[in-house]
C-alpha cells in the first residue's frame, strides 16, 4: 500500500478511530461468537522455539483468550483489538499506540507468506488488528459482546480481507 493510499484510508477511517479506538464491527465472522472464559496454555507454533519479542508477545496475548471485549480496553479486565496488541507488547517494553490505524505505520511490511508469530495483521481498511500466532491463525479481540479468541486466517472471511501485515520488533 502506497503512502498516499494509506493516508486516504486513514482519513476515511478517522470516524471509526475517534469513536472506537480503531476497531471496526465490520470484521465479524461466524466463528467470532460465543467463546466463554477458558483457561488455556499459550499457543505455540510447531516451529522451533524462538526468543523473539514478537513471539513472546503473541504467546502472552493467547493467555487472555476468553477475556471480554471492552471498548477502548487495554488491560486483562477487557481488551479491544489494538488494546490487546498494545498491552502484550507493552509488557515487553515496546510502547505502541492504541489505534489500529496508527499501528499500521509501525514496524516494517511483511508479506503474508513470511509472517511470524507476533506480526500484526490488519483488516477492514485498517479498522481491525490482530496478532499472528502461527499456523495460519491470529489472536484478536473482535467486537463488543465477544471475547479474545483465536481464528483461522485462511477462512472465507479473514482470508480475503487481509489488508497487510507488519513486523514490529525483535
How many Å apart are CA 78 and CA 90, to the nearest integer?
15
Phi, psi of 134 (to 5 degrees): 105, 165
Catalytic amino acids? 81, 128, 140
113 close to 122: Cβ distance less than 8 angstroms: no
How many Å apart are CA 49 and CA 142, to the nearest integer?
28
Cα Rg, the chain, nearest whole Å: 14
Amino acid at each position: 500500500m502506497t503512502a498516499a493510499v494509506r493516508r486516504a484510508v486513514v482519513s476515511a477511517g478517522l470516524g471509526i478511530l475517534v469513536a472506537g479506538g480503531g476497531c471496526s464491527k465490520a470484521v465479524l465472522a461466524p466463528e467470532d461468537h460465543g467463546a466463554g472464559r477458558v483457561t488455556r496454555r499459550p499457543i505455540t507454533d510447531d516451529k522451533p522455539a524462538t526468543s523473539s519479542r514478537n513471539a513472546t508477545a503473541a504467546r502472552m496475548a493467547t493467555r487472555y483468550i476468553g477475556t471480554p471485549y471492552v471498548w477502548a480496553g487495554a488491560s486483562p479486565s477487557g481488551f479491544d483489538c489494538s488494546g490487546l496488541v498494545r498491552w502484550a507488547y507493552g509488557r515487553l517494553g515496546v510502547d505502541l499506540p492504541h489505534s489500529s490505524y496508527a499501528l499500521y505505520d509501525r514496524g516494517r511490511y511483511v508479506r503474508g507468506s513470511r509472517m511470524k508469530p507476533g506480526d500484526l495483521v490488519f483488516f477492514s481498511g485498517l479498522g481491525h488488528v490482530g496478532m499472528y500466532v502461527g499456523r495460519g491463525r491470529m489472536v484478536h479481540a473482535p467486537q463488543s459482546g465477544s471475547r479474545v479468541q483465536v481464528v483461522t486466517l485462511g477462512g472465507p472471511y479473514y482470508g480475503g480481507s487481509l489488508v497487510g501485515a507488519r513486523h514490529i520488533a525483535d
